[in-house]
Amino acid sequence: MTEITCKLLVIGAGPGGYVCAIRAGQLGIDTVIVESTRLGGSCLNVGCIPSKAMIHVAEEFEKATEAATGKTPFGLTAAEPKLDLKQAVAWKDGIVQRLNNGVAGLLRKAKVKIVHGKARFRDGKTVVVETETGPKTIQAEAIVIATGSAPVELPFLPFGGNVISSTGALALSEVPKRLVVVGGGYIGLELGTAFAKLGAKVTVVEAQDKILPLYDAELTGPISKRLTALGVEVLTGAKALGPTAKSDGLRIETADGKERSLPADKILVTVGRKPVTDGLGLQNLVLDMDGRFIRIGERCETAMRGIYAIGDVTGEPMLAHRAMAQGEMVAEIVAGLPRAWDKRGIAAICFTDPEIVSVGLSPDEAKRAGHELKIGQFPFAANGRAMTRHGEAGFVRVVAQAGSELVLGIQAVGQGVSELSAAFGLAIEMGATLQDIAGTIHAHPTLGEAFPEAAMKALGHALHI
């Protein structure tokens, strides 16, 4: 059995893990990273990146279809488009491969040793990795658990056949004529919207009484309207029961308690994600847990000295950029640097049509925390750039303390607002006030102009509404 010793061992090469390893290598720390599948984790290989690629394909196909049917308001016409989904998937896979190779190159540049295999804890300092060439024992002074998450499988709708996860949806060779999406959260609606644009008849089944339950009704309203325009049927308060007798659809219980069968060529199950910890040997450690997730402190430390956990394996919010920030911080802590981080500046983005961005506290959250508020909201219907992009739906909203005018939260819904997340996050991170935002000159014509306008509205003097 091969034995390896190092100062830092990172288990999992997803966004959090590989960033942690790269930063540690930059700081001169002897680092080993272990990955059982492909570098980049779920986000790069089967999640964030490939889903956005397919969302882009769907957007371009919809534009071409509108041009072919003469529905564009600016006089553009074109021939009827045709989609080769296999080619689209191959294009998506090519992007993933380039990024995958890029991660490998960055790790090598930082002098990080890469070990491919399945890791299992023997104790708090020792991990055994089963590789193709046999087991390797790795002893480390510090260990970071960054094993990520995987789609939740419903016991009465196991993955296989016409029941698929988000991973399966991104590898289809043809667009299903009828797609039923179980789960009205961001993953289900992002993919459901994309397939609706590609020509599928989509039905969304959500057990709660609203879609995107983590967002307020003002933010989700434009999305509901867009889903209706795309012909997507949304059934809220509905429960999935299992496949039909012939496995050609899904049985559900509707909000009024009646049973209904939904015909489907594919059933996409997106009801959440679970931490990847099976086979990791956590029973050989003494960690505090939050259900199946690993409990951590403000510096991502676990209950055992020298063991850290980052990313999805630690619970919500399950966001790649959260994992990256945690990974960078932990590497610097291991190097002896004083570090901490503030989760208030983490942006949550839903890549639906239109998109949603939320940073910091929503109005309801701020009220529950006891704050008296000033709230400013500016519609994209009054923004010149939004009008020229045919994306007037939505708004930017700024939530601030009434007395100090400190900005507590920023939300937006609209086409392309994901790119505003950087400005929103920076404002929260830097402790901006309404005057700071209103006094910052934003270029014209851009969507970003809605940001200071919303701050001005909260101050009582919006200029363009």
What is the tens place of the pLDDT at every residue in 322-341? 999 999 999 999 999 999 87
Task: Answer whether residue 430 is part of any domain.
Answer: yes
Shared domain check, 285 and 265? no
Is residue 170 located within the same domain as residue 242? Answer: yes
- In this prediction, residue 344 carries a pLDDT of 85
- Is 66 within a domain? no
Domain check: are 379 and 260 in the same one? no
What is the C-alpha separation between 377 and 216, in angstroms, rounded?
Answer: 14
Q: Are residues 431 and 409 in the same domain?
A: yes
Rounded Cα distance, 130 and 108, in Å: 22
Of the residues 238, 271, 304, the one at which a domain ends: 271
Q: How far is CA 101 from CA 52, 96, 105, 223, in A?
A: 19, 9, 6, 36
Residues 205 and 123 in one domain: no
Boundary residue ending a domain (341, 374, 393): 341
Q: Is residue 67 part of a domain?
A: no
Give yes or no: residues 374 and 402 share one domain. yes
Q: What is the DSSP letter of 265?
A: S
Mean pLDDT calculated for residue range 9-37:
98
Specify the pLDDT at position 410.
Answer: 98
Tokens of 434: 């309404």
The domain in which residue 372 lies consists of: 345-459
Query: Looking at the DSSP assignment, which residues form a beta bridge with residue 164?
Result: 268
> Would you say residue 61 lies in a domain?
no
3-state secondary structure labels for all residues of 294-347: ECCCCCCECCCCCEEECHHHHCCCCCHHHHHHHHHHHHHHHCCCCCCCCHHHCE
User: Does pLDDT of 241 surpass 70?
Assistant: yes
- pLDDT > 80? residue 1: no
> By percentage, how much of the chain surpasses pLDDT 90?
96
Mean of pLDDT over the chain: 96
Q: What is the pLDDT of residue 152?
A: 96
Task: State the DSSP string of 232-244.
Answer: -EEEET-EEEEE-
Residue among 442, 444, 461, 464 flagged as catalytic:
444
Residues 374 and 229 in one domain: no
Query: 401 pairs with which residues across the strands?
Result: 373
Q: Helix, strand or coil for residue 290?
A: strand
442 catalytic? Reply is no
DSSP character at residue 405: -
Q: Please tell me whether residues 201 and 283 are part of one structural domain.
A: no
Please state the domain count of the chain.
3
Kindly calculate the radius of gyration of the chain based on its CA atoms and give it in whole angstroms.
24
Position 148 scores a pLDDT of 97
**Do the domain assignments include residue 421?**
yes
Are 94 and 170 in a shared domain? no
Summarised one tens digit per residue, pLDDT across range 220-237 is 999 999 999 999 999 999
In a domain, 416, yes or no: yes
Judge if 238 and 253 occupy the same domain.
yes
Residue 306, domain member (yes or no) = yes
Q: What is the dihedral of CA 343, 345, 350, 355, to 10 degrees?
A: 170
The structure tokens listed for 49 are 């990146």
Q: Does residue 438 sit in the same domain as residue 297?
A: no
* Residue 323 CB burial class (10 angstroms; 0-12, 13-18, ≥19): buried
pLDDT tier for residue 342 given thresholds of 50, 70 and 90: confident
Residue at 302 is within a domain: yes
Local confidence band at 71 (pLDDT 50, 70, 90 cut-offs): confident
Token couple for 323: 């994992």
What is the average per-residue pLDDT within 408-424?
97
Task: Check which CATH number belongs to the domain holding 368 and give it.
Answer: 3.30.390.30
- What is the distance between the alpha carbons of residues 287 and 394, in angstroms, rounded to a whole number? 44
If asked whether residues 116 and 146 sit together in one domain, one would say: yes
CATH code, domain with 242: 3.50.50.60
In tens, the pLDDT along 361-397 reads: 999 999 999 999 999 999 999 999 999 988 899 999 9
Final residue of a structural domain among 308, 341, 374: 341
